[in-house]
Amino acid sequence: MTAFATIGLIGRLDNERARYSMERLITFLQSRQLDFTLESQTAAVLGSDAAVGAARQVAELDSLGRHCDLVIVVGGDGSLLGAARALTSYGVPLLGVNRGRLGFLTDITPEDIEEKVGEVLDGHYLEESRFLLNMEVRRGGRLMGRGDALNDVVMHPGEFIHMLEFELSIDGHFVTSQCADGMIVSTPTGSTAYALSGGGPIMHPKLDAIGLVPMNPHTLSSRPMVIDGNSEIKITVGQSRGSKAMVTCDGQIHVESRTGDEIFIHKKPQKLTLIHPLNHNFYERCRTKLGWGGHLLD
């Protein structure tokens, strides 16, 4: 008996390899006589193929959580990030098949689809909880924009490169004022993404912590910080010589801010459940994806 009865399928099918992997996955689910629901844009790319006709139904991304008890994402980490933001509130777990470049989150290789997905469906898998960040931009107390992020919330100059002035407060306590290209506020999940490129620390996914990584700060004493995961972060946008600062969630949601705006960031109450094959190992992922050295005696 399978551990999951109804499967949701999401795919970024912008190339033939990704489309082939999705079709292969659908064929495998059919061989197991499992119901599956296609996300609407995925179905549109597949067109009128037999795969679409075999689907139990086609649903919008944000409603998949009402129809499925597992969602499989075929694509890169960006595809899984988008699915996570849309589906976390439903509590539906996500499983990733990697058709992107790095694949920190989508950890089943295309060659292993039948074997590894089959193991998951048979109940042989690891379950991991990840938290997201909630971001709000407020102007004079009025909400101007909001977003969620599994990886990071980034304040940056936007289209034009220039220094930003801002103040950082944590849990109501003033921390520092800075001139920098911006600030990366990262979850442990995002610590191996943009924050890592910015010189931030790698955090194990099980940590209840948030990383703060200043981007090219105009002082040698400015360093990344790791704070408690339940902290309330406030960034107050300072003078920026007429230019606007942008606030981005996972590189996919963009909110414009102005001088005097307050950016509030805190942990989202609902958590994401990621499903991994039994052989998943965070440190092995770091070795293979980041090019770390292997055993000296091998």
Query: CB 147: neighbour CB atoms within 10 A?
Result: 20
- Tell me the per-residue pLDDT of 179-189, one tens digit each, with 9 for 90 and over: 999 999 999 99
DSSP per-residue string spanning 118-171: HHHHTT--EEEEEEEEEEEEEETTEEEEEEEESSEEEEE-TTS---EEEEEEET
Tell me the fold of 6-125+277-290: Rossmann fold (3.40.50)
Burial 152-178 (b: 16+ CB within 10 A, else e): bbbbbbbeeeebbbbebbbeeeeeeeb
Q: Give 255: exposed, middle or buried? Use CB within 10 Å, 0-12, 13-18, 19+.
A: buried
Q: DSSP E strands: which ranges in 1-64?
A: 6-11, 35-39, 57-59
Looking at domain 133-268, its CATH class is mainly beta
Whole-prediction pTM: 0.93
What's the confidence (pLDDT) of residue 50? 60
Active-site residues, by number, are 77
211 has pLDDT over 60: yes
User: Domain residues of the chain, as ranges?
Assistant: 6-125+277-290, 133-268
For tokens 């309330």, the residue is 232
Q: pLDDT tens digits for 212-258? A: 999 999 888 899 999 999 999 999 999 766 567 999 999 999 999 99
- Alpha-carbon distance of 117 to 104, in angstroms, equals 17
Weakest-pLDDT range from 57-71, 132-146, 199-213: 57-71
